[in-house]
Amino acid sequence: MKSAVKYQTPKGLTAETVKAISRRKNEPKWMLDFRLKSYTQFLAKKLPIWAQSKLIDEINFDQITYYLSTSDKPQNSWDDVPDDIKQTFDKIGIPQAERQFLAGVSAQFESEVVYHHIKKELDDQGVIFCDMDTGLREYPEIVKKYFASVVPANDNKFSALNSAVWSGGSFIYVPKNTKVRLPLQAYFRINAESFGQFERTLIIADEGSDVHYIEGCTAPVYSTYSLHAAVVELIALPGSHIRYTTVQNWSKNIYNLVTKRAFVYENAFVEWVDGNLGSRLTMKYPSVYLLGNGAKGDILSIAYAGKDQYQDAGAKAIHLANNTSSTIISKSISKDGGRTSFRGTVNVGRGYSGVKNRVRCDALLLDDRSRSDTYPTIKVAEPTAFVEHEASVSKIGDAQLFYLTSRGLSESAAASLIVNGFISQFTKELPFEYAIELNRLIDLEMEGSVG
């Protein structure tokens, strides 16, 4: 069902499009100037040819709608959300999840957040959780200090695009020594055809604080392609902890090109838990920049590529302080001619002692038509650093299938069981409800995979 449009820009990207978005949001001049400079940088940047994928050349930037709104402002009650939009989120189960185990929820439909709510106890603790537009309007000093400080607009072509036309996303600030007991969640839905969604997320965990943020993304299937190019910036100040969990199940007409990066200061800890299903092309490499002594970063990801899909995912760990540690674990599954790539970077600067890093990437191929590649880059300038890398590629064996089918399972159910076991290291890190949902999605993808 298509929702009534309140406002949208014409197809294609021009300076006037950028100005129209900023004008619609009634933004301060510094943000408009930032957007226009980013637009110029976007035009100057080339597409990333190192990905070795012709898919990215299929993006027609002139046919994309860069801003589309179906509401005038976020609502804090589901009863006030337009019925057709609420029905979409009901089907996904967001209101139910909020009641059961979430501390706050933000739901974005196309370019704007349509629903937002945070529990009063977090409000009383001084936790800020709102959409990025509200953050810019109500907390301008914090936003101006940290916005684009982790991912500058000129970092890459798609971060420049996001910086020019960003809309929605999440802004979170957790005060000193505050523990957010339940997860905060944002949900992003693309419902329009030939559309671009460019949310911007900024999370700041002050000293000694702790927060878990979950994001989920979906879109219906259309015959034309849409673009999702988000930017996520995390700032973990000394002694804090941020866990950022993503479960994306985009339809196969979405180009998912996202930049995610964290600055981690003294004795702070950042975890990326990243699940990638769906999309035509995903390019995403969550990063940790370990900037303070004792900082730690863990990145755990899975990627599933089926027919006509390419999941180019990975991670980066940059060590720029003493006694820092990082772990990168990647699992990928390729089926029906799908292709997965692990692209990882580990960089240890000279003079930083006590650095430890471990990288492990495992690929599972379900047939002879599928493909998996590994592109590790390791640069170590400090001789005392301890760095290890291991990788494996495997197939489902006949002996495994025989063992399980001899105990009454169909071949398809046996293959699903093996795949779910392969990614169990990832699913056990998810909240229970998400782990069940992910296993169900894998089972659906695996139907008819054998025989």
- Give, for all 451 residues of the chain, the pLDDT tens digit: 556 788 899 999 999 999 999 999 999 999 999 999 999 999 999 998 877 668 888 899 999 999 998 876 776 777 777 777 777 667 666 666 666 656 677 777 777 777 777 777 888 889 999 999 999 999 999 999 999 999 999 999 999 999 999 999 999 999 999 999 888 988 888 877 788 999 999 999 999 999 999 988 666 666 678 899 999 999 999 999 999 999 888 888 899 999 999 999 999 999 999 998 888 999 999 999 999 999 999 999 999 999 999 999 999 999 999 999 999 999 999 999 999 999 999 999 999 999 999 999 999 999 899 999 999 999 999 999 999 999 999 888 788 888 888 988 888 888 888 888 888 888 888 877 677 777 777 777 766 554 3
Quickly count: other Cβ atoms within 10 Å of residue 26's Cβ. Answer: 8
Tell me phi and psi for residue 145, to 5 degrees. Answer: -70, -40
| Contact indicator for 286, 327 with CB cutoff of 8 Å | no
Rounded Cα distance between 315 and 317, Å, is 7
Q: Exposed, middle or buried by CB within 10 Å (0-12, 13-18, 19+), for 31? A: middle
Nearest CA among 124, 266, 128 for reference residue 207? 266
Sign of CA dihedral 294, 144, 188, 85: positive
The pTM for the full model equals 0.91
- Looking up tokens 């838990």, which residue turns up? 273
Angle, to 10 degrees, between the axis of helix 83-92 and the axis of helix 94-101?
A: 60
Quickly count: other Cβ atoms within 10 Å of residue 12's Cβ. Answer: 13
Rounded Cα distance between 217 and 250, Å, is 6
Nearest CA among 234, 208, 26 for reference residue 146? 234
Burial 80-100 (b: 16+ CB within 10 A, else e): ebeeebbebbeebebbebbee
Tell me phi and psi for residue 181, to 5 degrees. Answer: -70, -40
Query: Quick one: tokens of 42?
Result: 């976007």
